[in-house]
């Protein structure tokens, strides 16, 4: 992870970092071998820096942390889930344009 503003999300910290977060939280479900995941990684880092203090951004490696990915029925990656107040308020799958992602983020910040 290139940005210090992107947190590593794991099965053990998912509840505290995502579900109990005071800030809206964007979680990028990804894997090392996933080409589209690598494609959007710089955008995720940039958004984490741009919205620091307003939005928490995290990445969850689905190969190593499967509990929440399975509970949320993540079947394709990259999958972006936006949580607010412990609930999913928006999701998308695949490499999305930054403009689309930012438009959705603005609705929830």
Q: Catalogue the active-site residues.
A: 34, 37
pLDDT digits (tens, 9 = 90+) for 4-52: 999 999 999 999 999 999 999 999 999 999 999 999 999 999 999 999 9
Angstrom distance (rounded) from CA 5 to CA 60: 14
When pLDDT is cut at 50, 70 and 90, the band that residue 3 belongs to is confident
State the helix-helix crossing angle for 98-108 and 35-50, rounded to 10 degrees: 50
Between the alpha carbon of residue 16 and those of residues 36, 85, 105, the distances in Å are: 28, 12, 21
pTM score, whole prediction? 0.95
* All domains in the chain, ordered by first residue: 6-108 (3.40.30.10)
Count CA within 13 A, CB hemisphere, residue 4.
1
Residues in the chain: 109
């Amino acid at each position: 992870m290139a940005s210090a503003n992107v947190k590593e999300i794991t099965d053990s910290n998912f509840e505290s970092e995502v579900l109990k977060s005071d800030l809206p939280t964007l979680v990028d479900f990804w894997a090392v071998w996933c080409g589209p995941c690598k494609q959007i990684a710089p955008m995720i880092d940039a958004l984490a820096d741009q919205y620091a203090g307003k939005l928490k951004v995290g990445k969850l490696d689905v190969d190593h942390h499967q509990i929440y990915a399975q509970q949320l029925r993540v079947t394709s990656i990259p999958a972006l889930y936006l949580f607010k107040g412990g609930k999913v308020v928006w999701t998308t799958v695949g490499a999305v344009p930054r403009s689309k992602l930012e438009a959705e983020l603005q609705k929830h910040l």
